A and B are shown apart, each in its own frame.
Chain A
Amino acid sequence: GENVEQHPSTLSVQEGDSAVIKCTYSDSASNYFPWYKQELGKRPQLIIDIRSNVGEKKDQRIAVTLNKTAKHFSLHITETQPEDSAVYFCAASIQAAGNKLTFGGGTRVLVKP
């Protein structure tokens, strides 16, 4: 089955700096790559996603890049703010096969004021 590795496990950045989280996946058939944000004690919520026919996608301060050949994808947060502090999860799935997401282990991001 699919295996998703996520790095780093923790990330501390100064407010205003950028944060980058990287994930690799093992199943070349995976074609959907979402990122979820989970605040302490809350449910995961989708922040951005990318499909395998796209190399990059941006939404305000958040961007995701995908390299299908290398089987890795990354989340970039620019101009970080204290409210960006949370745990971020990457995931991968084959959408036609029930869209069963396989999650990475998570990255705890702390934005210091």
Chain B
Amino acid sequence: NAGVTQTPKFRILKIGQSMTLQCAQDMNHNYMYWYRQDPGMGLKLIYYSVGAGITDKGEVPNGYNVSRSTTEDFPLRLELAAPSQTSVYFCASSSDPTTGELFFGEGSRLTVL
């Protein structure tokens, strides 16, 4: 099992560009999440999904979009990148709420210049 796989690991964007961060899990987990972690800070929830075809906003959704067409994949789309979106992005998955544990990917470091 690879667990949660994120690509790319690093990316530099110019202001106004768009990109998609990919996230895939091979654990057949229904629940998936996108968090961002600013330097020296905790993680903030961007979007989450409780199953294929279902997504919902988290704490900081502005400037982002997600889709969940399959159980395995949960891509995060950044439209019109801004310097405030410079951060490390973590995708996570969980089998169901009662078990609790979130399994995180290795993170994607994004810099917007």
Query: Are chains A and B native binding partners rather than an unrelated pairing?
Result: yes
A73 within 8 A of B: no
User: Which of chain B's residues 1-55 have a Cβ closer than 8 Å to chain A?
Assistant: 31, 33, 35, 40-45, 48, 50
Q: Contact: B100 with A103, CB < 8 Å?
A: no
Chain A interface size, as a band, is 20 to 34
A89-B43 in contact given A1-B59, A46-B102, A102-B59 (Cβ < 8 Å): yes
Chain B interface size, as a band, is 20 to 34
B58 within 8 A of A: yes
A99 within 8 A of B: yes
Count CB-based A-B contacts (< 8 Å): 61
Q: Contact: B43 with A44, CB < 8 Å?
A: yes
| CA gap between A34 and B92 in the complex, in Å | 15
| Residues of the A chain whose Cβ atoms lie less than 8 Å from the Cβ of B44 | 103
A89-B42 in contact given A43-B104, A95-B100 (Cβ < 8 Å): yes
Cβ distance A89 to chain B, nearest Cβ, rounded Å: 6
Cβ distance B76 to chain A, nearest Cβ, rounded Å: 16
Q: Contact: A101 with B45, CB < 8 Å?
A: yes
Q: Contact: A43 with B94, CB < 8 Å?
A: no
Can you list 9 A-B pairs with a CB-CB distance of less than 8 A?
A4-B42, A44-B43, A44-B102, A46-B102, A89-B43, A98-B31, A98-B48, A98-B56, A103-B35
> Chain B residues in contact with chain A, CB under 8 A?
31, 33, 35, 40-45, 48, 50, 56, 58-59, 90, 94, 97-98, 100-102, 104-107
